[in-house]
Amino acid sequence: MSTELNGKKVLIITANTGIERDELLKPLQALKDMGATVTHATIEGGAAQLFLHDTDKDSRVTSDSKLAGLTASQFDALVIPGGTVNADTLRQDSDAQRLVSEFAKAGKTVAAICHGPWLLIDAGVIEGKTLTSYPSVRTDLLNAKAAGWVDTEVKQCPANGWTLITSRTPDDLPAFNEAIGKSLIAA
């Protein structure tokens, strides 16, 4: 195990269902392998249902915490996995919106993959930023005043004192995980 991220704390937030399995488990494991302490928090706490490709139920995992009561001051980075149902549920949750806003205001790393940038829209943090996402989210991002959308495996955008990292799909997870790790090392 690497120790590059020893002392770094990462929060991964999801709903309790509809989470794209690899977009939760692969960043969680990669960041742990780099030495970070990773907390997975869900809206309700407890069990979370993972899916393969948004349609096929997979395993269930138990989260470490509820979103309510957590603050950006406890962590160094925030990671938002995709999954259509997961992202659509998170974007409507006031605690998820609050956390994204707190991380941005605190100058920390925020990383979202696939449909995860939907939450960034509802948290009001994408105006003037260039992002990537699952292709169907492109129009939503542009309508929410993103500066642009690019079709690339990972996009890191300097964001007025904080770091915004976005990716498109599970195929991009190696680049996504690497970008999060590098951002935390640089912080």
Amino acid at residue number 25: L
Tell me, yes or no, if 53 is annotated catalytic. Answer: no
Q: What is the DSSP string of the chain?
A: ---TTTT-EEEEEE-SS-EEHHHHHHHHHHHHHTT-EEEEEESS-SEEEEEETTTEEEEEEE-SEESTT--GGG-SEEEE---HHHHHHHTT-HHHHHHHHHHHHTT-EEEEETTTHHHHHHTT--TT-EE---GGGHHHHHHTT-SEE--SSEEEEEETTEEEEEE-SGGGHHHHHHHHHHHHHH-
Tell me, yes or no, if 115 is annotated catalytic. Answer: yes
The residues annotated as belonging to the active site are 114-115
